[in-house]
């Protein structure tokens, strides 16, 4: 009889974690679809298939849920953007793939930063993450630069979500042409890279 108890506890813990993950995923997804001011706990609960009380039991408050969702989203973004140091072609593929998945969501959040504190914090974290990604991925080129700060700034711009938006959404270029044009920007800064 004792052997069944650990299994039950493990299954229960797994169910609790799955519910928590569904709630976080629902919160992140909703923030990518509509303005934050229009998202209530009932919306998150409905998307996750749970009650508002369940959301509160897991996170304590809306702020607790937002903190957990932010941490989860930042980790997912960092994982998606993982790129070998110095591999410029791979870096451009990875960043464009990332924007294909999350670019529109990032643009929606950027549009809210001036009037919504949470969105301002999220996009601030996103900017810092992007700058750190540039610093890591392009480190071999930055280390050789006479003006590391200037080159870093220009690489941030060349690989930014707004650059992707201008090419992909505004110019309506395909994914491959968008990546190629971003690659040309980077190559113009670094010199041709194989």
Return the CATH number at 15. 1.10.357.10
**Cα→Cα distances 144→45, 114, 141, Å:** 51, 37, 5
**Whether this model's pTM surpasses 0.75:** yes
Tell me the mean pLDDT in the region 46-62.
Answer: 93
Q: Which of 7-16, 89-98, 184-193 is least confident?
A: 7-16
Q: Are residues 180 and 93 in the same domain?
A: yes
Domain assignment of residue 69, given as a range: 1-75
For residue 160, the Cα-to-chain-centroid distance in whole angstroms is 13
61 or 13: which leads in pLDDT: 61
Mean model confidence pLDDT for the chain? 90
Structure tokens at 57: 């039991």
The answer to whether 32 and 5 are in contact (CB under 8 A) is: no
Q: In terms of domains, do 119 and 162 share one? A: yes
Tokens describing residue 173: 């270029």
Nearest 10 degrees: Cα torsion 169, 173, 179, 181: -110
Backbone dihedral angles phi then psi of residue 139, each to the nearest 5 degrees: -50, -45
Q: Tell which of 50, 75, 100 closes a domain.
A: 75
What Cα–Cα distance (Å) separates residue 120 from each residue in 65, 70, 102, 181?
17, 12, 17, 29
Q: Are 45 and 51 in contact (CB under 8 A)?
A: yes
């Amino acid at each position: 009889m004792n052997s069944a108890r650990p299994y039950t506890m493990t299954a229960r813990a797994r169910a609790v974690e799955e519910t928590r993950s569904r709630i976080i995923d629902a919160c992140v997804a909703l923030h990518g679809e509509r303005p934050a001011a229009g998202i209530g706990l009932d919306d998150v609960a409905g998307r996750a298939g749970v009650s508002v009380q369940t959301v509160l039991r897991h996170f304590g408050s809306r702020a607790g849920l937002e903190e957990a969702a932010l941490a989860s989203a930042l980790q997912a973004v960092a994982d998606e953007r993982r790129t070998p140091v110095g591999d410029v072609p791979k870096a451009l593929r990875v960043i464009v793939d990332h924007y294909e998945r999350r670019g529109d969501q990032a643009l929606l959040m950027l549009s809210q930063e001036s009037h919504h504190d949470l969105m301002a914090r999220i996009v601030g974290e996103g900017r810092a993450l992007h700058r750190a990604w540039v610093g890591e991925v392009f480190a071999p080129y930055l280390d050789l630069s006479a003006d590391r700060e200037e080159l870093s700034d220009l690489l941030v711009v060349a690989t930014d979500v707004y650059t992707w938006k201008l090419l992909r959404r505004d110019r309506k270029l395909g994914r491959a042409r968008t990546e190629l044009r971003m690659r040309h920007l980077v190559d113009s800064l670094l010199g041709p890279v194989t």
